[in-house]
Each structure stands twice: as C-alpha cells, then as structure tokens.
Amino acid sequence: MPGNTTESLKVWDLPTRVFHWMLALLVFANFFTGEDEGGLLIVHTYCGYLIGLLLIARVAWGVAGNRHARFGDFLKPWSETREYLRQLLRLSPPRYVGHNPLGGWMIVVMLVSLGLIVFTGMAAAVGEGVRIPFLGGLSDGVSEASEEIHEVAATVMMVLAGLHVIGVLGDWLLTGENIIKAMVTGRKTPAEGMAPAPAIGAWRGAVLAAFVLLGTGWMIDQTRFENVDNEHEEHAEDYDEEDEEDEDNHHERYDDDD
Ligand code: HEM
C-alpha cells in the first residue's frame, strides 16, 4: 500500500531534516528581528551564527552525507534540467527519489544567498559596534556596504523562500507525492525504479551536530555588544538622572508646603 511505512522509501536522513526545519525557522525568525537595534539584535545575531554553522554543516553533508543529501545526487546537468523543465511545462514532471533538478539548483541558490546574508550581517554588526569574531579590523566602508547588501539579500531570500514553497506545493500537486510530509518523516512512496539509499554511519551526523552547537557557543562567547550595551546603560543613566531630578523637585515642593 503506498505511503505505508513498511513499503515506503527512506530518502531524507535525520541531519537533512533537522537542518531544513531549523533553517526555515531561523530564517523566518531573523526576518522579523532584523529591524530591532536593542535586545532583539542579540537574538538576531545569535540566530545568524546558527544559520551560518548549519550552512557549513550542510555543505559538509552534501559531500559526506547520505546519497540523496549529496550535491552529486541532486545537481543535474543542464540537459537533464532542461528536459525536466520541458516536462514541467507540460504539467507532467517526472518523480525523483531525491530533489528534482529544478529544486536541486534552487537549493544551491538558497544556500549561497544565505551564506552571503550571514557574512554581510556579521560585517554590518561590526558597524553597529558589535565585536564579531574574525571581523575585528573591518573598515566602516565595508561594513556600511555590507549592511546595504544584507538588507537587499534578506528581501530576495524571502522571495526565494516563497518560490521554494510554491515549487514544493506545485510538485505535490503534479506528482501526487506529499514532499512536505517526506521532509518531516524522511520517507517517500516508492515508484518504478526507485531504490532505498544505503544508510551511512550515524556518527558523521553526530560530529556535525557537535560542530554546530559548539561552534555557535564559541561564537556567542566571543561576541560583545559593546555599543549596544552602552546605549542601554546610557539610557539607564539618563533615566536614573531624570528620576533623581524628579525626586529632588518633589522634596523641594514638599519642603515648601511645610
Ligand atoms: C525560509 C524558509 C525556508 C528555507 C530557507 C528552505 C530551504 C530549503 C533547503 C535548503 C532545502 C534543501 C534541503 C536539503 O537537501 O538539505 C529545502 C527542501 C525542502 N523544503 Fe524548504 N525551506 C524553507 C521553507 C520551507 C517550508 C515552509 C516548507 C513547507 C511548506 C518547505 C518544504 C521543503 C521540502 C518539501 C523540501 C524537499 C524538496 C524536495 O523533495 O526536493 N521548505 N528547503
């Protein structure tokens, strides 16, 4: 019976699925925390680190991971991509065990865009007075230009994510395979000629998970929100001074009454 777990095909391994849903969540979170210059800037920066390290881990997994997670499996030559596009335009795209050729190239575009967004975000934060590891000596010019690129690339990313979801829904509609469910369970309905991918050692995924967690922890530890903190302290000092003045006035008024 199609969709039955005993007959379904294991396609997406755990690292690929965890990577995907964490990435989707963090990218959305960062889209809505980017404008803030206060406490949310800290959340935005830390989520950005996590995205950056997840990207590095995904690239490593694309070389050393399970079959369908590998770039070599889903990056198809132009001739095959064109043929896929032709069939897609006839509304009868073929089913693929892993990513279809168009989806595969879209993934590269998204990964590269996200890498650019993370790098320019870190460079822009330097301009805001944040101490970012590896980017200590960055000039004001570079960090200002990075801020512009960061904002444009983040907007482009939202468009890409929208196209990506439309592509996913379109694939589901045209092939009948619910690939959103597949990205959750890791399993697809087998069809003619589809074979399961041999599993590889879980330790590789564990090494990458440790790299992402420890790397993010280290980056956070090395980061200082000097000016951001100062701003808060300055505000706090202004506030205290105002309070003291108010209190003095109050006492004076009280004394006059006497
Ligand atoms: C900003 C948000 C998102 C980003 C950056 C993103 C990015 C990606 C990336 C990089 C992949 C490739 C996974 C891999 O091989 O490692 C992927 C695949 C996939 N994504 Fe997303 N995604 C986002 C949101 C979503 C949402 C909201 C959905 C569901 C509605 C979704 C459904 C899928 C599915 C089903 C696949 C597998 C496609 C296939 O079978 O070829 N994604 N996405």
The tens digit of pLDDT for each residue in 25-69 reads: 999 999 999 887 778 999 999 999 999 999 999 999 999 999 999
Average pLDDT of the chain to the nearest whole number = 87
Say if residue 228's pLDDT is above 90.
Answer: no
Q: Is the CB of 20 under 6 A from ligand 1?
A: yes
Q: Is the CB of 103 under 6 A from ligand 1?
A: yes
Among protein residues, the one whose CA lies closest to atom 18 of ligand 1 = 20
DSSP reduced 3-state for 158: helix
Q: What's the DSSP call for residue 9?
A: E
What is the pLDDT confidence band of residue 130, given thresholds at 50, 70 and 90? very high
Strands 187-188 and 9-10: antiparallel
Q: Is the CB of 16 under 6 A from ligand 1?
A: yes
Kindly report the pTM of this predicted structure.
0.86
Q: How many angstroms is it from 8 CA to the middle of ligand 1? A: 20
Q: Is the CB of 50 under 6 A from ligand 1?
A: no
Q: Is the CB of 23 under 6 A from ligand 1?
A: yes
Task: Show the tokens assigned to 10.
Answer: 């294991």
* Distance in angstroms (rounded) separating the CA atoms of residues 82 and 86: 6
Q: Is the CB of 110 under 6 A from ligand 1?
A: yes
Task: Report the DSSP beta bridge partners of residue 187.
Answer: 10
Say if residue 184's pLDDT is above 80.
Answer: yes
* Distance in angstroms (rounded) separating the CA atoms of residues 245 and 227: 26
Say if residue 104's pLDDT is above 60.
Answer: yes
- Please state the atom number of ligand 1 nearest to the C-alpha of residue 19: 16
Output helix, strand, coil percentages for the chain, rounded to the nearest 5: 75, 0, 25
Q: How many angstroms is it from 191 CA to the middle of ligand 1? A: 22
The preferred substitution site among 71, 109, 158, 183 for testing ligand 1, maximizing ligand atoms within 8 Å of CB, is 183
* Distance in angstroms (rounded) separating the CA atoms of residues 107 and 142: 28
Q: Is the CB of 18 under 6 A from ligand 1?
A: no
Burial 233-250 (b: 16+ CB within 10 A, else e): eeeeeeeeeeeeeeeeee
What is the pLDDT confidence band of residue 245, given thresholds at 50, 70 and 90? low
What is the pLDDT confidence band of residue 5, given thresholds at 50, 70 and 90? very low
Q: How many angstroms is it from 125 CA to the middle of ligand 1? A: 28
Q: What's the DSSP call for residue 224?
A: B
Among protein residues, the one whose CA lies closest to atom 22 of ligand 1 = 24
Say if residue 258's pLDDT is above 70.
Answer: no
Q: Is the CB of 108 under 6 A from ligand 1?
A: no
Cα 18 → chain centroid: 12
